[in-house]
Structures are given as C-alpha cells and as structure tokens.
Amino acid sequence: MRYFQKLLFILLLSITQLAHADDGYRLWLKFDPIANVQQRNSYAQKCQFIYSDNQEVIIKTAQKELQAGLTGLLGKKILILTNPAGKKGGIILQIIQNEQTNQLAEDGFIIREENQNIVIRSRSASGVLYGSFALLRQIQSGSSIAQLNITDSPKIKYRMLNHWDNPLGTIERGYAGSSLWKWYELPEVIDQRYIDYARANASIGINAVVLNNVNASARFLTKEYIVKVKALADVFRPYGIKVFLSLNFAAPKLLGGAKNSDPMAPEVRNWWKNVTKDIYSAIPDFGGYLVKANSEGEPGPQDFGRTHADGANMLAEAIAPYKGIVIWRAFVYAADPKGDRFKEAYKDFKPLDGTFASNVLVQVKNGPIDFQSREPFHPLFGAMPKTPLAMEFQLTQEYLGFSTNLVYEAPLFKECLESDTYSNGKGSTIAKIVDGSVDNHSLTAMAGVANTGSDRNWTGHLMSQANWYAFGRLAWNHSLSSELIASEWIKMTLTQEPKAVATIQDLMMKSREIYVDFTTPLGLHHVMGQNIHFGPEPWLEKSARPDWTAIYYHRADSVGLGFDRTAQGSNALGLYSKEVQAQWGNPDTCPLPYLLWFHHVSWNKKLSSGKTLWNEFASRYYEGVKSVEWMQKQWNSVQSSIDPQIFADVSGRLAAQHREALNWRDACVLYFQQYSKQPIPRPYQAPTRTLDEMKEIVRIYQLK
Ligand code: GCV
C-alpha cells in the first residue's frame, strides 16, 4: 500500500511539473509538491484539515487558498471541515475581538499552535486571509512550522497598486503586454486573470488597486463604465481588495455639460456629488479617487485660479459620506526656464500643508524628479507634517531598462524609506513619515505603479515579478530587509537549492547598483532617450520644455559635470533640513552616489575613491558592463536548479541587457569625453564605435 502511495506521489509530482513547464504564470504561488518526503510529512501532520466557524466571503477565500496551496504542496487533498468535532492537527481560522487581537492593526493576524492545532486569528476576515497566506509562505519556502507563534500587523493602511492602464488596452510605461482589464468585454466576461491577479495581490498584502491611468479618461465616470468597474470590484472583494479610480478633473465639463470644471462652482460640486453617489450605489466599498492635476497638461483646479487643496477638498467633500478617500498627486512641475524642476512640487504644495480635508492624502514620488535609477528623497517628505503623505514608487521599469534589464528594486525602495529627513529630530525616516508615526497620522498609503500586463508571466522579465512581490511585502512591513524578501521570492518562484538561492539573491542585490553604474553613475540623472525613456541620449538639447532635455540636468562643460543645487546654484538643497544639507552640501564629503545631483564638479577633482571625477565616471561605465557579464555568469551557474524555460528566457534578457549596457557605456563616455577632453582611463579600451554611430542607434530607437 505504502509502495503504491509513493508511486502515485512521484507520478503526481512529475505530471504537475510537466503540466507546468514553467511559463511563470503562477508567480510565487506555485504550490508544487514538496519533494523532501520527511519535510512534506511533517507539514502534513500539522495541516490535516481546515476549519472555520465563520462563513464570511473573505474567510471562504482563505479556506479555498489554504486548501489549494496545501493540496498542491502536500500532494494530497486537504479537506475543509464543517465540524472538526475535537479533531487535532488542523488549521483553525478565527475572527475574534479580544485583548490579543485588539493589539493588531485591522489587517493584522496571529498564527499560533494551540491545543495541537494551528490557529490563524484576527479581528478581521482580511487579517485571517493574510495570515493564511503567511502560513503558506512558511511552508512554500521550507521554513519550520513547529511551535508557531507569529504576530504580524501591516504598518500601512492602503497598500496599493496604481495601474497606468488606458481604456483601449495600452499601458502608459507598461512593458509586459497590454492591460489586464478588457474593458470592452466587461462586465459580461470575467477573465480568470482577474482572479489570479487578486490572489497574487492578497498573498502579499496588497489591498487597493487604482484601475486606470492617472492621465485619466473621463469615460470611467460614466454609467456604462461604472458597471464594468463594479464587475472588477466584485472579483476583488473576496480577496480583500478595494478598487479606486483615477479622475479626469475636467470631467464635469467633458461629461456633464458644465460650463467649466471650477471646483468652487456649485454646479461642478454637485456634479461630483452625483457621480460619487452613482459609483457608491454600484460599489458600496469603493475606495476613492486618485488625481493627477495641473501636471504634464492634465486639467486641474489651477486652471481656474484655485489651489490643489481646493480641488482635493471638493472631491473629499463629495466622497466623505461614503468613507472614501482622495489621493492627490504632488507630481507637478510648472515649466520655469530659469528654475529647477527639483523644487517645483515643493513650491506648490508646502504652503498648502494643513489645508487639506481629513480624508485626503497627498501622494509624493520617492524622488523630486521622476523615478530615476537613484534620486535623493523628495524634499516634501518631512515638510508637510499636517498632511498625510503617501509614497509613490514605480514598479514598472520606465527608467530602469524596461523588461530587458534585471533590476531588483527593493534596495532602491529601502534606500528611500530609510533616509532620515530629520523633520522631527533624528530618526524621522521617510518610512516613519509614510506610516504616520512621525506626525501622528492614521490615514496612510504606499503606492506602486504596477508592472503587470497581459504577458503570460505578468511582468515581461520574469525577475521583475520580484519587484511586485517586494513592493507588497514592504508596503506591509517596511522594515523587512531586501535580502530576506529576495530569498522568500526565489524560494517560492525559482528554486530552493541553497547554493542557487544564495547566488541569485546576491545577483539581485547587486543588480540595481550595476544598472546605475552603466547608465547614470555618481548621481548623473535624466539623460535617457527623451520619448521612450530607454537607452542613452545625453546630447539631447532641445525639447518642448527645457526640463525635458538632458543638458538641463547634466550641465557638462569644459570645467566639469553636474547640477549645482547648493546656495550658489539653484539652492534646491535648501529645501531639506540642515542635517540633510550637511550630508549632501559639501562636494568634498557628499557621498558619491549623490555627487552630481548636487554639485558641478570639475573633471580633475580628486574624489574620495582616489580617482579624478573623469576617471571614476568613465570607469563606472566599464565596470558596469563587466558586472552585467558577471550577472550572466552567475545566472549560468544556477542552470541546473532552474526550470529550463525560465532559465532560457532570463538568459536571453541578460544578453539583451549586456547589449544595452554597451550602448550606454559607449554613448556616455564618448559624449562626455567631448567636455572632459581626457582619454579613457587605463586599463579600459576606448569604444570602437563613434559618437555618431551611437547617436544613430538611439535615433532609431526613437523613430515612430
Ligand atoms: C502617467 C512621467 C512618465 C509619464 C507619467 C508621469 C506621471 O513623466 O513619463 O508617463 O504619466 O510621470 O507620473 O504622471
């Protein structure tokens, strides 16, 4: 009998593996049978059944997910019991309000072994769902579940994805296919992907999604589209996810026939109230609105001489009766030929601190320019203590090599979150401003601009799945380390072979710095191809606005390189606290990663590395390219531990990355050499291609 059971298991194992020659669709939720029999049996002993006396829809989801996950992992069907009748060795899901659970945040959970059962306990159904996924994660990644005693609460209330998806199915800055949302099929057709998307999000604690692009079409506010949005909300609700919409501020005029969209006009205010009522009567738990206003040509309250707060508060008033929220973006930068884009958002928003309604959050990008591969933190963090500030990170790799480059973003997110603003004394980190603890806000949010699309593996580059995963984990708990998150993800997605896990983790951890080195070392920024933001274009001198060119930012001349943002220059540094100014203000002590962000440095200046600026700068490009070769070698070394389809796909993308790195290197060293007038430092060889050849490659990239 035992022999047949064993045979059956081996058969099951190979069938599952064959059936899933891995195309990456299952993300980190693979649940393939655990190969180690001893380990599998020890888990199986503690997970013999699932039971809850509560039948809320989200609890049912938790049960279903546990059942599917455990059945896959343990290779046998795990039953959901309706009456455990004193049985031991199972998983009990429990919603309860008591002293213990009252200590938790709303979505928090406790997992403990009690009376020989594993109890997942929370005061909310969503907490139980997150606890269930946490238990699965323990088992998936091969961790022990003996004497479990986990207490976990999210640090942020709204952990959200922002989709920049357009109604016709394109995605602004999307590199993984088309939009997941098939608006023309909705509400009648429910694609399985909607459900799988919700599962993936719930598994990492994401509880809110903005469905459409911040450059918003007004059509989402029509009755025809509200039913489509409702259909998605109905799919996401069992996974604890609320839907939000991006608004077009001119909608009252565009759709409602109003004279204009002045937020102070009674007719306009009423229009928003009516639309909001329509939305809530279809979707009672609708989350709220996200707004990009008076930015990059989008309409907004300033069109009528009103402030951002006037606009936000009008919407806040309309949505308050339903407990909805308004998230107002601070990504604004009026064109000022003599100014510094770095300072624009601060100029507009800082004076408005304290004037926003209590259900408004202001959403600020991590840095002051626009999701560059490295930015100093945005100076608005710490400057608006009376306003809850939401963090906006970008998962989609607009400036990080699209889906051909391997860039693990957790270190980038962490670098920002751990930056100290000193706004309320030492330790006033961005993380603590965003989680509300520095300024005492309970309304908190962290948003990631989604990197998902219709590609079979969701994110184009399979390794970019890790960025979605890492964002969710950090939005839940910003104190998790990038290393830990990477290793969780690798073990669930790629392999559990210890040496391979360590190799891939190391490669991921170094990947962002490598990308910085071969594209924009030492704090160089915004020198990418102007239209598509791919590849180098440091020679870009003319654009519709000066702050869309490259020369505006790098300021290369015969003397040196970099943007002087000290008091002698634009004084953007003056927007930070004096401690931060001290950190970055002196070119002799400014850490090299930020040097060219704040200083115009002479080509011959000796840096802390011992090399001159030119030599260090040029060397970084060469070393960056060599590091991509190292990444390829490391990846090759794990071949035997990785699914062949995934291995081949990532190998191909690394080869593409190498080609791109060479383009960046040759274009940048040749272009800047015109100013430094110095040879390529030894031992590196000068590029064999000319600057004109490089310009031609980039020109072709930008052709329509
Ligand atoms: C959605 C950058 C991007 C735009 C994006 C904008 C924003 O400028 O290039 O595509 O628009 O940021 O965040 O609003």
Strands of 227-372, DSSP E: 242-247, 288-291, 325-329, 360-365
Question: DSSP character for 680?
Answer: P
If you search the block for the tokens 């070393």, which residue do you land on?
Answer: 623
User: How far apart are the CA of 484 and the centre of ligand 1, in A?
Assistant: 31
User: How far apart are the CA of 588 and the centre of ligand 1, in A?
Assistant: 34
Question: Which of 198, 17, 71, 202 is CA-nearest to residue 646?
Answer: 17
If you search the block for the tokens 């936000």, which residue do you land on?
Answer: 312
Mutate to test the pocket of ligand 1, among 162, 163, 164, 547 (most ligand atoms within 8 A of CB): 164
Give nearest CA residue, ligand 1 atom 2: 370
Cis ω on the peptide bond leading into residue 187 (within 30° of 0)?
yes
Q: Give me the sign of the Cα torsion angle 654, 656, 657, 659.
A: positive
Could you identify the atom of ligand 1 that is nearest to the CA of residue 533?
A: 9
Could you identify the atom of ligand 1 that is nearest to the CA of residue 295?
A: 14
CA 561 to chain centre: 31
CA distance 440 to 385: 9
CA distance 417 to 473: 13
Q: Which two tokens stand for residue 42?
A: 């020890």
CA distance 171 to 183: 13
CA distance 438 to 424: 7
User: How far apart are the CA of 212 and the centre of ligand 1, in A?
Assistant: 13
Question: DSSP character for 221?
Answer: G
CA distance 262 to 269: 9
HEC string of 318-357? HHHHHCCEEEEECCCCCCCCCCCHHHHHHHHHHHHCCCCC
Which phi and psi (to 5°) does residue 624 adopt?
Answer: -60, -45
Could you identify the atom of ligand 1 that is nearest to the CA of residue 394?
A: 13
Q: Which two tokens stand for residue 148?
A: 């479990």
How do strand 117-122 and strand 109-114 relate by DSSP bridges? Answer: antiparallel
Give nearest CA residue, ligand 1 atom 7: 331
User: How far apart are the CA of 349 and the centre of ligand 1, in A?
Assistant: 18
Annotated catalytic residues are 296, 370, 398
CA distance 304 to 297: 14
**Contact 570/564 with Cβ under 8 angstroms?**
yes
User: How far apart are the CA of 291 and the centre of ligand 1, in A?
Assistant: 13
| Ligand 1 and 215: CB distance under 6 A | yes
| Ligand 1 and 164: CB distance under 6 A | yes
Question: Which of 38, 92, 36, 35 is CA-nearest to residue 66?
Answer: 92
Torsion of CA 474, 478, 479, 485, to 10 degrees: 10
| Ligand 1 and 331: CB distance under 6 A | yes
DSSP H helical segments within 20-105, as ranges? 37-46, 57-74, 99-102
Mutate to test the pocket of ligand 1, among 170, 298, 331, 372 (most ligand atoms within 8 A of CB): 331
**Contact 662/669 with Cβ under 8 angstroms?**
no
User: How far apart are the CA of 293 and the centre of ligand 1, in A?
Assistant: 12
Q: What is the CA radius of gyration of the chain?
A: 26
**Contact 596/523 with Cβ under 8 angstroms?**
yes
Mutate to test the pocket of ligand 1, among 170, 173, 451 (most ligand atoms within 8 A of CB): 173
| Ligand 1 and 381: CB distance under 6 A | no
User: How far apart are the CA of 247 and the centre of ligand 1, in A?
Assistant: 15
pLDDT at 448: 99
CA distance 63 to 337: 59
| Ligand 1 and 371: CB distance under 6 A | no
Torsion of CA 50, 51, 56, 62, to 10 degrees: -20
Could you identify the atom of ligand 1 that is nearest to the CA of residue 292?
A: 14
Mutate to test the pocket of ligand 1, among 296, 332, 364 (most ligand atoms within 8 A of CB): 296
Question: Which of 676, 465, 507 is CA-nearest to residue 473?
Answer: 465
**Contact 337/546 with Cβ under 8 angstroms?**
yes
**Residues of the chain predicted below pLDDT 70:** 1-20
HEC string of 516-579? HHHHCHHHCCCCECCCCCCCECCCCCCCCCHHHCCHHHHCCCCCEECCCCCCCCCCHHHHCCHH
| Ligand 1 and 214: CB distance under 6 A | yes
**Contact 528/537 with Cβ under 8 angstroms?**
yes
Mutate to test the pocket of ligand 1, among 363, 370, 400, 534 (most ligand atoms within 8 A of CB): 370
| Ligand 1 and 370: CB distance under 6 A | yes
User: How far apart are the CA of 173 and the centre of ligand 1, in A?
Assistant: 8
| Ligand 1 and 530: CB distance under 6 A | no
- Single pTM value for the model: 0.97
How many other C-beta atoms can be found within 10 angstroms of the C-beta atom of residue 188?
9
User: How far apart are the CA of 246 and the centre of ligand 1, in A?
Assistant: 13
User: How far apart are the CA of 579 and the centre of ligand 1, in A?
Assistant: 31
| Ligand 1 and 418: CB distance under 6 A | no
Could you identify the atom of ligand 1 that is nearest to the CA of residue 213?
A: 1
Question: Which of 167, 144, 161 is CA-nearest to residue 202?
Answer: 161
Q: Which two tokens stand for residue 655?
A: 């080869």
Give nearest CA residue, ligand 1 atom 13: 331
Beta bridge partners of 690: none
